[in-house]
Chain A
Amino acid sequence: MDNIGIKEAILAVITLNEHQPASGVPVFYAKDERERDKIALYLSKILSAMVHDLENGTYIIVRH
């Protein structure tokens, strides 16, 4: 199972959408795009994970 299998996990959600409910996964609300990018960078470095853009104002941090 070294090379294949489901090991991805969403570690955090960073969003501009304040109606995004928090459930199960930590959600970080950002007030603008700059803050969102900054939180995403910090979290990805802290968690050694990757930032993915869902292109609806929401980023997710995923461990691969």
Chain B
Amino acid sequence: MSKYLAVVAVGIIMGVTARLHMLRVDYRQYPSYPQGYLIHLSLGLIAAFLGAVAVPALISKEYTAVTFLALAAQQFREIRDMERKSLENIEDTELVPRGSAYIEDIAKAFESRNYLAILTALFSSLVLQLSDNIPAAILTGIAAIIVLSMMTRRKKIKDIAVIRPAKIRFENSLLCVENIMVMNVGYPDSRKIIEEQGLAVMIEPKDDNARATLSSIGQRQAIVHDAASLLGVKRDVTDVDFMPLARLDIETGRVGVIIVPMERDIESLIEAVKRVPVLESSRRKPLESFAGKQAED
């Protein structure tokens, strides 16, 4: 067993490093509770262990041990469930809900990150087993982390759209962001507050793919949630008037976002919206299809 000790140890270390790296990247989606960190690091450790022992198991002809990888995949599906459930449970307590599409996306990311830990551990232990060279194994691990995290990196809103400040105006009681009607605000004092303290941005899609993506309700809810969680939102449970909203201009596909933030800073709002991830479940690519391409012009 001791001859495999180095192989397994390096595999585990690289796998856990991979998981740690992805936890660090996670500043926004992750509530960053110490318990959450512990849960995901422990699961990452288990994932890394499974990846690291696969190669020694194969070499000592313990083929059944490899089938545990399949079992592991099953287990890590549970992580997705766990994340989804816990985010759904706190959804009611959020002033601005994430929306189910965003939750699904976050849950998916957490599952995939454990596979990242498995694969990193597997590659680095394989290299160590074949070459007997620890630095090479570590380098492989780092390369695996970089390549895999690049592969799983999601696009951001700034990649698919142009974001610019927009004007808020009222047509009597109708709140509008430029030409997009957002809602009817009946209470006069609320109208005053929105006019004085509200901020609005316009998201203009770069092409028809982006337009289809932005029209997804889930994507828009994610934008609103992120903007509200980064800038704060001036509302409590009973202040329905100040719910941040993202509404679509059906003619052009532009999206107008309106928010009454705690910190009234348009630059930060634009930056926050730019960095919202494009949700996998909302991503549409009509232009890739023949029919979509035909319909473009």
Interface residues of A (CB under 8 A from B): 2-4, 37, 40-41, 44-45, 48-53, 55, 59-60, 64
Contact = CB atoms under 8 A, between A and B. Distances in A.
Given A3-B221, A44-B240, A48-B240, A53 B99 contact: no
Chain A contact surface mostly:
mixed
A48 B238 contact: yes
Interface of B: 97, 99-101, 172-173, 184-190, 217-218, 221, 237-238, 240-241, 243
B241 to A, nearest CB: 6
Contacts, number: 51
B187 A37 contact: yes
B188 A52 contact: no
Given A49-B240, A51-B187, A51-B241, A3 B217 contact: yes
Given A3-B218, A4-B217, A45-B238, A51 B190 contact: yes
A52 B174 CA distance: 9
A45 B217 CA distance: 28
B184 A64 contact: no
A3 B240 contact: no
Given A3-B99, A3-B218, A53 B240 contact: no
Contacts of B217: 3-4
B153 to A, nearest CB: 26
B173 A55 contact: yes
A4 B220 CA distance: 13
A54 to B, nearest CB: 8
A60 B187 CA distance: 10
A40 B187 contact: yes
Nearest to B101: A3
Of all A-B residue pairs in the complex, the 6 with the closest CB atoms, nearest first, are A51-B186, A53-B173, A53-B186, A50-B240, A51-B187, A52-B186
Nearest to B240: A50
